[in-house]
Amino acid sequence: DGGITQSPKYLFRKEGQNVTLSCEQNLNHDAMYWYRQDPGQGLRLIYYSQIVNDFQKGDIAEGYSVSREKKESFPLTVTSAQKNPTAFYLCASSALLAEGATDTQYFGPGTRLTVL
Amino acid sequence: AQSVTQLGSHVSVSEGALVLLRCNYSSSVPPYLFWYVQYPNQGLQLLLKYTTGATLVKGINGFEAEFKKSETSFHLTKPSAHMSDAAEYFCAVEGRGGGSYIPTFGRGTSLIVHP
């Protein structure tokens, strides 16, 4: 089955630690995205990538880093510089359309990160 | 630039009643429009989308939405609510030809269904 997976489902971080959230897709999508979701704030874009070895900052990139070494994979690292990382993190992917827009976004099941 | 406004962070209906979730957008180009649903502790999944053609779009689980260009709206409706419809609903807009490759999401509306 084609889809997008995230791991782990739950993650606990101690103060000062970096942690990496995994995101993998086998949909052959060019574009991948990371969102942060906090109660009542909807989805906020952290980073996105349209092509391998290239990515762009979203609205709240500070304290986060990403890489896109393979089309299928877009891991997110939450660094110690992110002062309030407790949140639900969603990864998504989509095809790029000829008209210069994206098609439907397919979301992973999410990773809930908690700082201890 | 594009933006999405979802009116009402919470909507409460009785089981069997009409569901109406409002979405208004602004976009400098004809948009693609989407409604997504999110159940607790899960990712979002597509309910329906408008790209071109018929302005009344039917989606999964009996939902439908109508693109009204003159009102810049894409409201989501369902004739009869079911308990299983309780979830968070997100409207999103993508500017066609904008080249941004970034859809803009509304803040979401939580649908509460009372027995």
Please indicate if any CB of chain A lies within 8 Å of the CB of B60: no
Say whether pLDDT at B97 is over 60. Answer: no
Share the mean pLDDT of chain A: 92
Rounded CA-CA distance A33/B50 in Å is 21
Contacts of A88 in chain B (CB under 8 A): 41
Per-residue model confidence (pLDDT) at position A27: 95
State whether A102 and B96 contact (CB < 8 Å): no
Query: What confidence score (pLDDT) does residue A74 get?
Result: 98
Task: Name the pLDDT band for A99 (thresholds 50, 70, 90).
Answer: low
**What is the pLDDT at residue A87?**
95
Tokens of B15: 């089981």
Q: Residue A12 and residue A61: Cα distance in Å, rounded?
A: 20
Q: Which residue has the higher pLDDT, A112 or B1?
A: A112
Report the 3 state secondary structure along B13-70. Answer: EECCCCEEEEEEEECCCCEEEEEEEECCCCCEEEEEEECCCCCEEECHHHCEEEEEHH
Q: Determine contact: B34 vs chain A, CB below 8 A.
A: yes
Number of neighbouring beta carbons within 10 Å of residue A77: 14
The predicted pLDDT at position B101 comes to 65
Decide the pairing of beta strands B109-114 and B10-14.
Answer: parallel
The tokens for A44 are 């906020």
Question: How near does any CA of chain A get to the CA of B30, in Å?
Answer: 11
pLDDT at A91 exceeding the cut of 90: yes
Summarize the confidence of residues A82-109 as an average pLDDT: 88
| pLDDT for res B41 | 87
Per-residue pLDDT, averaged over B6-15, amounts to: 95
Report d(CA A75, CA B26) in Å as an integer: 32
Model confidence over A4-35: pLDDT tens digits? 999 999 999 888 899 999 999 999 999 999 99
pLDDT of A102: 78
* pLDDT band per the 50, 70, 90 thresholds, residue B98: low
pLDDT for A39 beyond 70: yes
Please state the rounded mean pLDDT for residues A48-72: 95
